Amino acid sequence: MPYVIDGNNLLGSWGGPQGQDDRRAEVVRRVAAFCRARGAKATLVFDGHPLRPDMETQDLGPLRLRVPPQGTDADTLIREIVDTAQRPGEIVVVTSDKALYSYVKTAGATVLRAHEWNAMERRLVRPAGSAAGEKPDKEDDVEGWLRKFGGGE
């Protein structure tokens, strides 16, 4: 199933930009890792300027980056992608925007909120105890805490 991901919503669920770093490269890296692990394809849509000034669209293997044309926004581009799909029911849209969520769901696409995608990505790409700086999923995950802090092998 192809994914269409609202990159700004996903980034917002991670706390948004940090200082001068807009963190879009982190979103690209994590979505690309998800695609590789799941054997999936995704279109990642960002508001604003392209990551490379000369390219509004970039194909990176299973991941395609899109920036909407000037004067429009990511939500409009995501609606267009769903509206022009031959089988919108086979698309999974990742967004936390209520209006976009409703629109694409009505069009027949499956929809995940950003936090739902994050949970799926965490289970698939970063199994418990494998990501530095991440706490175990549950507070009572003693084995996870021991792996994190070096007390359990």
Q: How far lies 93's CA from each of 61, 77, 131, in Å?
A: 19, 12, 26
Q: Side chain identity at 115, as an amino acid letter?
A: H
Mean pLDDT taken over the chain: 83
CATH of the domain at 33: 3.40.50
Whether 68 shows a pLDDT value over 60: the answer reads yes
Determine the structural domain holding residue 46 and report its residue range. 3-149
Tens-digit pLDDT profile for residues 130-144: 544 444 444 445 555
Residue 39 to residue 32: CA distance in whole angstroms: 10
Q: Kindly report the CA angle at 36 between 104 and 41, in degrees rounded to 5? A: 30
Residues 6 or more apart whose Cβ sits within 8 Å of residue 80 = none
Q: Into how many domains does the chain fold?
A: 1
Tens-digit pLDDT profile for residues 34-49: 999 999 999 999 998 7
Whether 54 shows a pLDDT value over 50: the answer reads yes
Report the percentage of the chain scoring pLDDT > 90.
Answer: 56
pTM score over 0.95:
no
* pLDDT at position 153: 46
Angle, helix 114-125 to helix 24-38, in steps of 10 degrees:
60
Q: Which of 68, 8, 10, 9 lies closest to 34, judged by CA?
A: 10
